[in-house]
Amino acid sequence: MARKTGGQIVETGNHHSLVAMKGLYYAMWRQQIGERKLNTAFAV
């Protein structure tokens, strides 16, 4: 996978390596996981 910002590749790797770097990919992944947990917690 590659993460682009402003047209430039800033991070590359597989999911596990990108999460381990704790960069932009990690921040977006954490945000998505948090939203998913919130949606699950409030599901009716």
Q: CA–CA distance from 2 to each of 6, 31, 32, 38 (Å)?
A: 13, 18, 17, 27
- The pTM of the full predicted model, rounded to 2 decimals, is 0.65
Dihedral over Cα of 26, 31, 35, 38: its sign: positive
Alpha-carbon span 29 to 25, nearest angstrom:
6
Mean pLDDT of the chain: 82
pLDDT digits (tens, 9 = 90+) for 30-39: 999 886 665 6
18, amino acid identity: L
The domain spans of the chain are: 2-41
Say whether pLDDT at 26 is over 70: yes
State the alpha helices, DSSP H only, in 1-44: 15-21, 24-41
